[in-house]
Chains A and B, each alone.
Chain A
Amino acid sequence: MNRKTFAYLLYSSAIVSFVILFIGFILAVWDLTHPSKSSALAAKKQIPTPQAQEGLFVGLGDSLTRGVGDSKGLGYFGLVREQLAKKNPGRISAVNLAINGQTSTDLVKQIQQEKVRILIAKARWITITIGGNDLFRGSGGLEKLDLKAAKKSREIYEKNLTTLFTEIRKLNSKATVFLFGLYNPFGDLADEKISSQLVAEWNETMQKVSARFNQIVVIPTFDLFQLEPGKYLYSDHFHPNDAGYQRMATRLLQVLEDTEEGEESHDQ
């Protein structure tokens, strides 16, 4: 390229970019000073509806499903999700709907929400941790266990659990539901015998209610934390720690494998 055409090119490209940048500047000022809501509405149209997922893993319940106490923030739910995603790359999606501090009464309210219902209906697996907050709050706290109050809150819990499972089955008759049993975080405290007995009663209630429905699996956790609670509990002495969640995840994965293989052979 000779010098003159190069010079001409530089000159004209400067003029062109001057004009384009000026237009860009005017556009920006116009866009920012004449805001309209219409463009947001127009943009809505080009967003298609979410596609149906092949394997939806839904978590419900309290802080245990949220993963409180796990240094990585995964919890058993996150760990299981990772395993599932590894085995079925691109085909698994997971939704964690658990809320910290939720009691069974809160959960029954939560599943009335439209979005939650849609997700439950689409789910292939539903995992739940619920009851810990009912038990240890409804029984007068950790120091003095009020047996009468505990009995009353267990009755409420039984009713809520029945409502919960009825609703889930109404929305989704196929999904396998996993309900984690309770463990006793106070196993190394003075009132160990009483608290353990309470937890056992509640676990029995879980079994009893679950047995009335199809495809609901109660996964025990009592034994996991029984002998060495300090090793598997987080420093708040209530939630599991990394190792505790790992144990829970292993249990869930063991049972999950059955349903997966069952599904796959069913497909063939």
Chain B
Amino acid sequence: MFNLVYNEYFKLIRKKRMFVITLILLVLIPIFTYAQYKTAKNAMEQLGTSDWRAILQQQIVDQQNRLSSSRLAPEWKERIRLNIKQQQYYLDHDINPTAPGAPTFMREFIEGAISLFLPLLVVVLAADLVSSEHSGGTIKLLLTRPVPRWKILLSKYFALLLGISLMLLITAILGYLISGVIFGYKGWNIPVLTGFQMQKEHLITDYVHIVPQWKYLLMAFGLAWFSSIAVGTISFMASVLLRSTASSMGAMLAAVVAGSLLTQIAPNWNELRYIAFINLGLTDYLAGNPILVEGMNLPFSLAVLSVWSLIAIIIAFIAFTRRDVTT
């Protein structure tokens, strides 16, 4: 079994898909880095002063002002208090929050990429995993070996999981190395706020706490890994069901893009939340971003993704083991 996985993993790598993904990242990350650098520079110009310490001090004071207002809801007060704490930390530790280094870039990159960009890369990686054996004609060679079919498929699946892990590793390393050229390589210990919870319309800040950035990154990448695997698993099913690479990849790309479009077009359509592709943005829960569709939280999204993955894998196995190979 171990040998089979090893073997399949190298088929995956050798197909140059991973190379293409690395190339895509190599082109896009510098662009994103430059975009972010531009934004930071613009913000600085608008404030009219390059002394970020003065700006931070004023921001803290403004927020303290807001705190003293009696019209402020208590849950916002707690959030502002934490914000002040965060900014005071920047000030005390001489960290410029507008140009805070490569780890922050990685965090923003993964948060932005999790619901569309990463899934697309995963689809590129996974959607032809089995179908390419059909189009390449190698499926017969594969199935005439004295190994049960389910074992072959399982080893392909494990290889995919490893491939996705490697892809995220490459994303992290490239993101760090490239953005660090401009932003510097420091900032692993910057405090990041997490623990926001949504209940109906309200933001619950009772459990908000500060974690160091390295831990936050670990968690964010872990969540990205999970949603990438869910996409990978569904693509895996598509590659079993559809025999041509073009159609399985096309179908999966359409599904991923449609999922991200739908959340923006029809956030009021509540039943959307049972669709896997709506639930890919897991880092939103970590960052406390407002969730567009009502009734979604982390356990819910994890459950939806798990159920879809489970059904996909069952269908994939049934279809693969029962299929007659005629081509």
Is B44 at the interface (CB under 8 A from chain A)? no
With A28-B223, A43-B210, A95-B61 known as contacts, the answer to whether A14 contacts B169 (CB < 8 A) is yes
Partner of A17, one of B48, B65, B89, B169: B169
B299: chain A residues at CB < 8 Å are 33
**Chain A interface residue count: which class?**
35 or more
Q: Is chain B's interface secondary structure helix, strand, loop, or mixed overall?
A: helix
**Is there a chain A Cβ closer than 8 Å to B242's Cβ?**
no
Also in contact, A47 and B209, with CB within 8 A (given A25-B223, A33-B299): no
Interface residue? B194 (CB, 8 A): yes
Neighbour of B53 across the interface among A24, A25, A36, A90, CB < 8 A: A90
SS class, residues of chain A in contact with chain B: helix
Give, as a whole number of angstroms, the nearest-CB distance from A63 to chain B. 13
Name A29's contact: one of B62, B168, B298 (CB within 8 Å): B298
A89-108 with Cβ < 8 A to chain B: 89-90, 92-97, 99
Q: In the bound complex, how far is the Cα of B197 from the Cα of A35, in angstroms?
A: 10
Q: Which residues of B sit under 8 angstroms from A95, Cβ to Cβ? A: 61, 64
User: Would you give 17 A-B contacts (Cβ < 8 Å), ordered by A?
Assistant: A15-B162, A17-B166, A18-B162, A23-B222, A28-B223, A28-B286, A29-B298, A31-B194, A32-B194, A37-B206, A43-B85, A43-B210, A47-B88, A81-B54, A90-B53, A90-B54, A97-B65
Please list the 9 inter-chain residue pairs (A to B) with the smallest Cβ-Cβ separation, ordered nearest first: A24-B222, A35-B207, A25-B222, A28-B219, A21-B225, A17-B169, A18-B165, A43-B210, A24-B218
Known pairs A32-B298, A81-B58 / 16 extra A-B pairs, C-beta < 8 Å: A13-B166, A14-B9, A21-B221, A24-B218, A24-B220, A25-B225, A25-B226, A28-B222, A32-B194, A35-B195, A37-B206, A43-B85, A47-B89, A47-B92, A92-B54, A96-B61
Residues in B lying within 8 Å of A, measured CB to CB:
6, 9-10, 13, 48-49, 51, 53-54, 57-58, 61-62, 64-65, 68, 82, 85, 88-89, 91-92, 161-163, 165-166, 168-169, 191, 194-195, 197, 206-211, 215, 218-223, 225-226, 282, 285-286, 298-299, 302
Chain A positions near chain B (C-beta within 8 angstroms): 7, 10-11, 13-15, 17-18, 20-29, 31-33, 35-37, 39-40, 43-44, 46-48, 50-51, 81-82, 85-86, 89-90, 92-97, 99, 113, 115-116
